[in-house]
Structure 1
Amino acid sequence: MSLEMQKLYDERLGRYQATIALEPTDRIPIASGSCYLAEVYSGATNQEIIYDPDKWLQAEMAFIKDFPEIDTLRDNRVWAPLYDAVGCKTYKLPGRDLPPNQHFQFVEEEYMQADEYELLIQDPGLFMLNKFLPRVLGEYGSPDANRSHMAFLKAGMGQMMMNNIMRNRSLQLQTVCGMPQPTTGVFIAPFDVLGDVLRGLRGALMDTYRRPRQVLEACDVLVDVMVRFALSTADPLRRYPIFVPTHKACFMSPKQFDTFYWPSFKRVLEKLIAAGYTVRAYLEGDWKQHWHHFNELPQGKVLCDIDTQGDIFKAKADFGRQQAISGGIHDSTFILGTPAEVAERVHHLCETVGKGGGFIINGGCNIPYDTKPENFRAMIDTIMQYGWYDKNCKPVPKPPAAAASAPDDIARQYRITPWATRVKELGGVRGDEAMIQQPWDQLEAMAFNWLWTWTM
């Protein structure tokens, strides 16, 4: 990386990190977590973005060239060939199931039966292998054993290819454009594992009445599963927050949320914070009945994106002194409004919610595909005019936060075949056992964590 790009990268990252930490910085960052406009701005189709990594990267670089003021960039996270290799049923993809210019869609079904809670609770790995994945991954669930085995082989190879694509993208944006990521790594709240892709919203909410004990026990088990999945996908240098979308909380009453959603979600957040990470949480829908709970977490550790249905001013008043917030521009304003209307809104946000820091101006958890480029430019220009705190402040990256303890002490790592089982089968080993056990445990952990990719 050139000295110029290193300086630009450090400045952008430092500004972003300081805002999350509620610390002083020079200005309000321009740091959407999901800038979908960047995918299609240069003319690429949605199909090209998810099937052709080169066109995806070219689209992002073209976007950065025209909007160099932005501080982070993330949009697509789907590499479609991996989903094709396993026949994943939870997504409809542009160019395959949908028109090439349409956004991918999530397909919610009850992929777990109501009487399968005990298997999930007792052995989450076997539940995934024997129940969930054969239903969700059509190729793996094929009655043709050869086709099923090949699907898993292709899935492993596809995962490595996708990791290389994501790594190359990140390095290219960093070294060529001086551009940080807004998030690296992902998880979902334990209740959302149930409500999104296992039982579905209807099934999960009905279960809170019909089998509340099992719902709570399943959420308890999923705490460590989600923590280890998040850590396995997170930035090892701890520069970027871990991403968590929250999907079902907005459908829950405060009593339901306090009983079934928040306790396990809070434990995941606390464990990731103890591991030295921050978190970027999309508070999807209207969270106003629930977001006061973020005051219970350590200060400056969670950046909360407020959706279009939320009230950014109330969010600032309710917990904005404890955690950073992002949002404030309605999606409809980006799509249907005028540059003057965007500028007026941004100016107002700078003068109100932006006072004192800890704020990122953004859309409702994203910059929509249909955003008028001139409206995005108006947002940037207005921030560059009114969003300054102290131009003499020179943002620099923060040193990585120290982990409170080792990952094994923070969260249990489940394994399908523990080393103790394998060494017993071998009848012991004749050399250095630790040398054999370490890669065995590592691969077991990687394989187990990968199973949960398909709940995202």
Structure 2
Amino acid sequence: MAKDTMTAEERIVASINLQPVDRVCCAPLIEQYAGQYAGITNREFLWDWDKCMAAIDKVKEAYPIWDSNAYMQQLRYGPVAKVVGSMRCKYPGVDLPDNAQYQMIEIEALTRDDYTLLAEKGFMEYRMTFLERAHNKTREEVLAGLQELARLRQAELEATQRRGQSATWASWAGLTPFDAFSMMRSIEKFFKDMYQIGSQLEQLMWTCNDAAVDAAVKGVEATGINRVFYGGVRCSGQFIAKKNFERFAWPYLKDIINRLAERNIVPILHFDSDWTENLEYFLELPQGKFVLELDSTTNIFKAYEILRGHCSIKGDVAPALFTVASPSEMDEYCKKLLTTFRNGEGLIYSSGCTLPMNARHENVKVFFDAVEKYGRYN
């Protein structure tokens, strides 16, 4: 059997740069499944940091070929998520049974009147107000939560390095303005804003880009890693028409990626939902300066056809393949994915979004085994 000739860090950097690698970079997003694999409840996994890290260690020990850690567990850690999580949430052991999966709850935490706050005091004050209301916390509690978030991120990066993995991204740079505002306003209220006060929104949404650039720069300075998570879901073609995409989403997305590229920061675009009809827009972005991460809803083979040689693509083994497919069906898809992309064409092999908590262990094994079977180039 051939052996690795690149480090985990060298492999992901080469993949992003569309350069040849010894084997495909293996970077699934693994969180709650790790607790199930280790035999602990989801309550233990999400509320006990040491047990959480030990569970992830066990998955890495079982599958050494998992070489890039693509999750930021501190964002889901109960004592932090309940204070500064991106949305209001229900958690096992508190709001749900001990082995239930956490749930994100959409609420209208900020009203249309609060856009005045955004205009007068900027995005960060707007965001802090959202966190206070979404989680029913004081400003002091939110600030303490953000400090704990930063501390745990450093601890997770150290654990990732100790396992011999690369960190897929250094830090969280934010969301597309469309997503950020719709989550804080709720998607129903924000869609009404889009139609009723669209001109006002167009101006306000630029403040989100400024905050994202600032967050990305600070994350890179703190970690020394120039890759950042940048999320988008609700502005894909699955949600809005192209005319609205071109007005309320694309200018901001294009601007943020260009600004990060100028700073040698690589955004990994964690873009859930179906982006198939939006794929050609990404050809307008700088070549080799971003990663498009897909969750299995977008047709990744269409993405390959359109974007081959332009950017690295991360994805995209579907949740259903982990949970209800047979091992042979899982193997068949993994083979198709890994053999469609050629060496130097930038595939980063991953689950479609998060590997499901209730994934079948035998199917997870097939997922990892496929790297040696179909993704080895040396």
> What per-residue deviation string (whole Å, max 9, x for no partner) do you get for residues 330-385 of structure 1?
21111111222111211222221345431123222222112212112112222202
**Which of 353, 356, 370 does residue 358 from structure 2 map onto?**
370
Change (3 A) 1:237 1:53: closer
Contact 1:8/1:178 (8 A) holds in 2 = no
Change (3 A) 1:125 1:374: closer
Contact 1:245/1:283 (8 A) holds in 2 = yes
**Which of 326, 348, 354 does residue 314 from structure 2 map onto?**
326
Using the alignment, how far apart are the partners of 2:15 and 2:330 within structure 1? 22
Please tell me the residue identity of whatever aligns with 1:225.
A
What's the TM-score once normalised by structure 2's chain length? 0.89
**Alignment gaps of 5+ in structure 2:** none
Tell me by how many angstroms 1:159 deviates.
3.5
Q: Which residue of 2 aligns with 1:259?
A: 247
Change (3 A) 1:230 1:296: same
Contact 2:271/2:292 (8 A) holds in 1 = yes
Q: Which residue of 1 aligns with 2:181?
A: 194
**Which of 4, 22, 29 does residue 26 from structure 1 map onto?**
22
Tell me by how many angstroms 1:170 deviates.
1.9
| 3-state secondary structure, aligned to 1:55 | helix
Contact 2:309/2:345 (8 A) holds in 1 = no
Contact 1:91/1:105 (8 A) holds in 2 = yes
**Which of 229, 240, 244 does residue 215 from structure 2 map onto?**
229
User: In the alignment, is residue 317 of structure 1 matched against residue 313 of structure 2?
Assistant: no
Please tell me the residue identity of whatever aligns with 2:38.
S
Q: Which residue of 2 aligns with 1:136?
A: 134
> Which of the pair has more CA radius of gyration?
1
> What per-residue deviation string (whole Å, max 9, x for no partner) do you get for residues 206-254 of structure 1?
2121111111011112210222123333464543521122121131111
Change (3 A) 1:356 1:230: closer
| 3-state secondary structure, aligned to 1:280 | strand
Q: Which residue of 1 aligns with 2:104?
A: 106
| 3-state secondary structure, aligned to 1:273 | helix
Tell me by how many angstroms 1:48 deviates.
1.7
Contact 2:123/2:208 (8 A) holds in 1 = no
User: In the alignment, is residue 379 of structure 1 matched against residue 367 of structure 2?
Assistant: yes
| 3-state secondary structure, aligned to 2:348 | strand
User: In the alignment, is residue 211 of structure 1 matched against residue 197 of structure 2?
Assistant: yes
Count of aligned pairs between the two proteins: 371
Which stretch of structure 1 is more off in the superposition, 12-21 or 115-124? 115-124
Contact 1:88/1:138 (8 A) holds in 2 = no
**Alignment gaps of 5+ in structure 1:** 1-6, 141-150, 392-456
Using the alignment, how far apart are the partners of 2:330 and 2:128 within structure 1? 51
Contact 2:15/2:344 (8 A) holds in 1 = no
Please tell me the residue identity of whatever aligns with 2:12.
Y
> What per-residue deviation string (whole Å, max 9, x for no partner) do you get for residues 414-447 of structure 1?
xxxxxxxxxxxxxxxxxxxxxxxxxxxxxxxxxx
Q: Which residue of 2 aligns with 1:308?
A: 296
Please tell me the residue identity of whatever aligns with 2:267.
V
Which stretch of structure 1 is more off in the superposition, 359-368 or 254-263? 359-368
Tell me by how many angstroms 1:22 deviates.
0.8
Using the alignment, how far apart are the partners of 1:279 and 1:385 within structure 2? 30
Tell me by how many angstroms 1:10 deviates.
6.4
Q: Which residue of 1 aligns with 2:167?
A: 181
Alignment identity in percent? 26
Please tell me the residue identity of whatever aligns with 2:227.
P
Q: Which residue of 1 aligns with 2:158?
A: 171
What's the TM-score once normalised by structure 1's chain length? 0.75
Please tell me the residue identity of whatever aligns with 1:365.
C
Contact 1:32/1:182 (8 A) holds in 2 = no
Please tell me the residue identity of whatever aligns with 2:374.
Y
Q: Which residue of 2 aligns with 1:241?
A: 227
Q: Which residue of 2 aligns with 1:435?
A: none
Tell me by how many angstroms 1:106 deviates.
1.6
Higher relative strand content: 2
Q: Which residue of 2 aligns with 1:433?
A: none
Change (3 A) 1:335 1:84: closer
Q: Which residue of 2 aligns with 1:46?
A: 42
| 3-state secondary structure, aligned to 2:270 | strand
**Which of 249, 270, 285 does residue 297 from structure 1 map onto?**
285
Change (3 A) 1:334 1:272: same
| 3-state secondary structure, aligned to 1:249 | coil
Q: Which residue of 2 aligns with 1:94?
A: 92
| 3-state secondary structure, aligned to 1:327 | strand
Using the alignment, how far apart are the partners of 1:95 and 1:185 within structure 2? 28
Change (3 A) 1:189 1:253: same
Contact 1:185/1:235 (8 A) holds in 2 = no
Using the alignment, how far apart are the partners of 1:224 and 1:139 within structure 2? 26
Using the alignment, how far apart are the partners of 2:311 and 2:299 within structure 1? 15
